[in-house]
Chains A and B, each alone.
With several copies, the nearest count.
Chain A
Amino acid sequence: MTFRDALALGMAREMEADPSVFVFGLDVPDHKRIFGSTRDLVEKFGPSRCFGTPLCEDALTGIALGAAISGLRPVLVHIRADFLLLTMNQIGNMISCLRYMSGGKVKVPLVIRAIIGRGWGQSAQHSKSLHGMFAHFPGLKVALPSRPQDAYSLMRAAVRDDNPVMIFEHRWLYDVSGVVDEKVKVELGKASVIRKGAALTVAGVSWMNVEAMKAAEVLARRGVELEIVDVRSVAPFDEETLIRSVERTGHCIVADYDWVHAGFSGEIATRINYRCFGKLKKPVERLGFRHTPCPSTRTLENLFYPSAIDIIRTAEKMLGLSETDLAGEEFFSYEKNFKGPF
């Protein structure tokens, strides 16, 4: 099953189980179905439970909150995470703290989905991640599935949670296929070791797990085994799983899908440095976007984004290895699959 289908299935199962769940947002029920991720919902559950809206992201976020404190379980969808910037007031000043301000009198069960854009020259306004920014606000949970099983299971956990949960979905992940067992439950707030290895730990966020798997495949051919921890949740953050890994490997690369400066990679690195003080063989390295807005042209875009190659080169440097010859390797395969216009 693809990641997009897993998202749709996760929502569908919760909608079947609980009539108070509904899905809404701009263009949610149109024929494109948010890149397919809301497929079949309007047919199965009707237009009162899956509907499109005017362009008013700020109000929609407040509307989700109002519905949530009235006992419903809204799922609000944004086709680009960048549009969340219009909703920060409701998220930061209301959703994240209304329960606290009321002394625990209200409950805020809602889900906000947002897609991280990449592909076809999305440029500066359609490519942000922002997960770290939201992780910063007490009262929010923030998850980033990178595999179909997690897309399905974390979606279900998010809808069932009695608190606000944000889910960030990288656009390229939508075409990733994998086995989805409908019975598998995944708790929010837990990392997952998606590859075992003794040489070096990669803490991967979202799409960077795919890049890390590719890097691991390349390095494994010369006997260097990366361990990959899919962070999956940045709030709450599962420090323990990561620490256990780094305590064994003594090396860590944090591969975030965001700008490095003042981003979530610093939080991860700080915690590792703190807990593994004296046990690290090399300082924790961080990978992320270059510190510029995202350019439009492919040439510069490829320099802007971190990739498997960066992971490989960084690992080699940390481990004191010579540079692997990458001449025959196929990288960026998803980008090649991706075609315009959007």
Chain B
Amino acid sequence: MNSRDEALRLYRKLLLARLSEEKIRELYPSNEIKSPVHLGIGGEAIPVGVCHCLPENSKYFGTYRNHTLYLTLTGDTDGFFAELYGRASGAGGGKAGSMHLMAPDRGLMATSAVVATTIPVAVGAAMAARYRGSDDWVAVFFGDGAMEEGVFWESLNFACLHKLRILFVCEDNGLAIHSHDTTRRGFRSIPESVGGFRCHVLSGDGSRLSTVVEKTREAVTRMKKDSQPAFLHLTYFRFLEHVGPKEDFAAGYRPAPTEAERGGRDPVAIFEGELKSLKCSRPEMDAIRSELAKQVDASSRKAQAAPSPSPPDLLTDVFS
């Protein structure tokens, strides 16, 4: 982190995502959010950190676990909640739901509920940038499970062959739904698996926002020097169930973390620690928190009251 200011800007992003998802957890039991929600609690630092380090006009691609990415790029809690509630004013006019939040005007080009599907699409965007001679950057976020899909390897090969300006960001929580990495990986480690490709490979703790920023900056520097794609492997801990608002440690497929473990993997708590060393006071942080909480609260209320799409809307947006 270069400055206190920059850190506070990042903190706002991190917190906006966290508070929005905590709000979903609070509202979900009412059964009014009729969309599956894949919450990113524990993984917020990755999109926040990566997006922070890329230039303004960069293009981003994500998955169904896209809330932080959407909010980081847009700040648009209104469109976010309205979409979760399936309202006409939602980010996707009610057609998207949680899994397909997009904001092309803010660089969020596509998200998808089919694992790994946006990876080649991102490569296509990087190719388009090259084609037009623009210096746009592209980043694509995907889970560790996505690397098992063939299209990941096809896309990586293509991007490396053409030396495209793209960051492959693997958000590694060691899980695909309830399946552990050990039951899915035939390779020695994620960085080693891509080690034979002509790209920069970097790893780090994705729970630490400062690490994410550092690694992304390093990737950017290396890509500028030696123009090849970068592969960023960032680990994090998924606090909640795969889909839905709850914890599910009781299901038995993984142990519940201790309080200390929680703290050590919570990007918000960790970053608050770092803020302290940058001389940000608790009251200062609390003020930001309550300001953002108000925003989230207002947006979620507005969404609840907003009108649904009307019947003719079903038939629009099929073709341009």
Contacts and interface: CB of A to CB of B under 8 A. Distances in A.
Interface of A: 22, 26-27, 30-32, 48, 52-72, 74, 82-83, 86, 89-90, 93-94, 98-109, 120-126, 138-139, 162-163, 290-293, 295-300, 303-304, 339-342
B94 A300 contact: yes
Given A72-B128, A98-B110, A59 B123 contact: yes
A62 B123 contact: yes
A100 B185 CA distance: 35
B59 to A, nearest CB: 7
A254 to B, nearest CB: 22
B179 A31 contact: no
B87 interface: yes
Contact of B145 (A55, A72, A86): A55
Contacts of A296: 35, 86, 92, 94-97, 99-100
A90 B97 CA distance: 20
Nearest to B79: A103
A69 B60 CA distance: 12
A123 B87 contact: no
Contacts, number: 280
B280 interface: no
Contact of B127 (A57, A58, A67, A126): A67
A90 B124 CA distance: 13
A82 B112 CA distance: 13
A114 to B, nearest CB: 14
Contacts of B139: none
Choose among A57, A93, A299, A342 the residue with the greatest number of B CB atoms under 10 Å from its CB: A299
Interface in B165-188: 176-179, 183-186
A340 B28 contact: yes
Contacts of B35: 120-121, 123, 296, 340
Given A22-B131, A101-B96, A102-B100, A121 B177 contact: no
Given A58-B150, A66-B128, A101-B100, A89 B184 contact: no
Contacts of A304: 314
A100 B37 contact: no
6 contacts: A55-B145, A59-B158, A65-B121, A123-B113, A163-B320, A293-B95
A61 B116 CA distance: 13
B309 A300 contact: yes
B117 A70 contact: no
Contacts of B132: 71-72
A342 B99 CA distance: 12
A71 to B, nearest CB: 7
Given A67-B128, A105-B103, A163-B319, A54 B121 contact: no
A70 B145 contact: no
Contacts of A123: 35, 95-97, 99-100, 113
A69 B103 contact: no
B252 A297 contact: no
A291 B253 CA distance: 41
B223 interface: no
A341 B28 CA distance: 9
B285 interface: no
A104 B313 CA distance: 11
B20 interface: no
A99 B318 contact: yes
Given A52-B183, A63-B123, A93-B117, A103 B103 contact: no
A58 B151 CA distance: 6
A69 B155 CA distance: 17
Contact of B245 (A65, A138, A341): A341
A57 B125 CA distance: 17
Contacts of A54: 145, 148, 154, 157-158, 161, 176, 183-186
B252 A31 contact: yes
B260 interface: no
B167 to A, nearest CB: 14
A62 B117 contact: yes
A58 B34 contact: no
B46 interface: no
B204 interface: no
B64 to A, nearest CB: 9
Nearest to A138: B318
Contact of A100 (B105, B118, B311, B318): B318
Interface in B79-96: 86-87, 90-96
A90 to B, nearest CB: 7
Contacts of B97: 121, 123, 296-297
A336 to B, nearest CB: 10
A102 B157 contact: no
* Minimum-distance CB pairs A-B, first 9: A66-B124, A62-B120, A297-B86, A296-B97, A56-B154, A297-B94, A103-B93, A59-B154, A70-B128
Contacts of A120: 34-36
B179 to A, nearest CB: 5
A30 B253 contact: yes
Contacts of B122: 66
B44 to A, nearest CB: 19
B109 interface: yes
Contacts of A290: 314-315
Contacts of A300: 86, 94-95, 309, 311, 313-314
B192 to A, nearest CB: 17
Contact of A101 (B92, B115, B319): B92
A63 B120 contact: yes
Nearest to B116: A55
Given A59-B123, A297-B308, A31 B317 contact: no
Given A56-B157, A297-B86, A340 B121 contact: no
A122 B125 contact: no
B95 A94 contact: no
Contacts of B115: 55
B100 A104 contact: no
